[in-house]
Amino acid sequence: MLQARFRRPLQRRVLRTGQMAWLLLALAANALPSAQKVGAADPSPGEHADRLEAAFADLEQREISVIVALVHGDEQPVVREFGALREDGIPPGETQVDIGSITKTVTGAMLLKLAEQGKVQFDETLADIFSEVPADKAGITVQQLLTHSSGFRDAVGSDEERLAKNKFLERAFWSRLISEPGDEYHYSNVGFSVLAAIIEHRSGKTYDTFLQEDVLAGLGFENTGYMSIYEDDRSLHSRDGETIIQASWGGHEPYWNLIGNGGLVSTPAEYMRFRQAFASGKIVAPEFVERAQTPHVPENEAKTSYYGYGLVVQDHPRLGRFYWHDGGNGIFSAQWMDFAAQNDLIFTAAANGEEGDAFSAIGIVYKHLYPRDDD
C-alpha cells in the first residue's frame, strides 16, 4: 500500500461514480446550454436545518473522516468534522487541507486578475508569451489552456518530483499533444501549470506571491496558498498519519508538476469565503466572473457538463445551474459545489478511507438537502 502511494494517480479532477451516480444521471437529462428552470420548492429555514442535520447524522453513522462546511444564504457557515478527524485535536475551522485540483479554480481566478490588470489577453498564444515554443504548440491560446482544450496531456511527471519551472516547461513543450489545439476537451494538469508559469512570467512574481499580494490581499485570507501559509501542526492527516507536506508534496515544498494545478492548501471555511468573494465580484470585476462561469467547452459527447475557467458548469432539471470542482490524489480528496438558486455553497475535504471520501460525503449532503420526489 505504501509503495503504491508513490505511484499514485496525479492530482486531477475526476467525474465521480458510486454514490453520486444517480445525481449525474439526473444531470444528463438536462444538457447545457438550457433555460435555467428551477422546479424544486425552496425549503423553509427550519426544514433546511433539519435536512442538514439528517445529512450530518448519516455521515456520523458512516464514520467518514471528512470535514463538511456549508453556508446557506446569509447565515453563518456551519463546519463539522466526522470520523477519525474528531480525535486529531485540530478544530475543523482551523484544519488546513489539500484542496487538490480545486487549485485550478484558484489559478483560473488568478489568470483573470492578471487579465484585469492588462498583463495578458485570452487570445494570446504561447508563442506570444514564451520564446522557443515548438511549432505544434505555438498557437495554443490562454483560453484553450483555461478550458482544457489545448491538447496537452494530463501530466508529464509525478506530483512529488523536484522539477524546476524551466525543466517543466521544456518537458511540457516537447511532449506529444493528444489532439490539435482547440479541437477537443482533454483534462490537463500540464495546461494549468503552464498557466501558472504565464502568471509568473507576466506578473514578475512567484505564483504564491501573486496569489497573496494581488488576488487575496485585503480580503482577510490567511490560510490559502502553498508554503507561504502552510502550518504542519494544523495539517489534515492521512489515514497513515502523514501531513500534506509528506503525503501530497513528497516531503518538501511543491514543485512544478503540482504548482497551479494541484496541492494548494486552504481551510474549508476559508475556501468557501474565496468562492463567495469570487462570485460576488470582490476578486475580479463581474464581467470576468461571468466569463469564468460561462460553459465554454463540453466535457463529454452528451454535453451534460461544460468546463469554464477552472470550474465545471452544469444544469440540473430541478435545481437550475450550479458550479463545482473536485480533486484528489488517492490520499486526500476535496470538492465544492455552489447551488446558486438554492443559496447553498458546500465544501468537503477528507482523508480517504474505506468508509468514504470527500466525493461520497458531498453526495450524502446533496441527497439530504435536495431529496427527489421518488425518494
* pLDDT at 45 exceeding the cut of 80: no
Q: What one-letter code names the amino acid at 79?
A: V
Inside any domain, residue 256: yes
What value does the mean pLDDT take over residues 90-118?
A: 97
Q: How many CB atoms lie within 10 A of CB 349?
A: 35
C-alpha triplet 333, 337, 338: angle, nearest 5°: 155
* pLDDT at 30 exceeding the cut of 50: no
Adjacent-strand bridge partners of 335: 326, 348
DSSP string, 79-97: EEE-GGGGGSSS-TTT-BE
Judged on CB neighbours under 10 Å (0-12, 13-18, 19+), 69 is buried
Q: How many CB atoms lie within 10 A of CB 57?
A: 11
pLDDT at position 155: 97
Distance CA 268, CA 274 (A): 10
CB 66 within 8 A of CB 96: no
pLDDT at position 81: 97
Inside any domain, residue 271: yes
Inside any domain, residue 375: no
pLDDT digits (tens, 9 = 90+) for 56-83: 999 999 999 999 999 999 899 999 999 9
pLDDT digits (tens, 9 = 90+) for 138-158: 999 999 999 999 999 999 999
Distance CA 62, CA 47 (A): 23
CB 268 within 8 A of CB 349: yes
Inside any domain, residue 9: no
Judged on CB neighbours under 10 Å (0-12, 13-18, 19+), 283 is buried
Distance CA 319, CA 356 (A): 26
Q: Indicate the pLDDT class of residue 372, thresholds 50, 70 and 90.
A: confident
Question: What does the CA dihedral 245, 250, 251, 255 come to, rounded to 10 degrees?
Answer: -80
Inside any domain, residue 12: no
Q: What is the 3-state secondary structure (H, E, C) of 15-55?
A: CCCHHHHHHHHHHHCCCCCCCCCCCCCCCCHHHHHHHHHHH
Distance CA 277, CA 215 (A): 10
pLDDT digits (tens, 9 = 90+) for 260-275: 999 999 999 999 999 9
Inside any domain, residue 125: yes
Distance CA 56, CA 157 (A): 39
Report the number of distinct structural domains present in the chain: 1
Inside any domain, residue 108: yes
Inside any domain, residue 78: yes
Q: Which residue has the higher pLDDT, 100 or 374?
A: 100
> Does the CA dihedral 249-109-149-101 come out positive or negative?
positive
DSSP string, 120-157: --TT-BHHHHSSS--TTTTT-BHHHHHTT-S---S-SS
What value does the mean pLDDT take over residues 81-86?
A: 94
**Domain harbouring 103, CATH code:** 3.40.710.10
What value does the mean pLDDT take over residues 281-306?
A: 97
What value does the mean pLDDT take over residues 293-314?
A: 97
How many CA atoms within 13 Å lie on the side-chain side of 68? 27
What value does the mean pLDDT take over residues 237-259?
A: 97
pLDDT at position 42: 74
Question: What's the mean per-residue pLDDT of the chain?
Answer: 90
pLDDT at position 16: 38
Domain holding 92, by residue range, is: 20-369
Q: Indicate the pLDDT class of residue 52, thresholds 50, 70 and 90.
A: very high
pLDDT digits (tens, 9 = 90+) for 10-21: 444 444 333 444
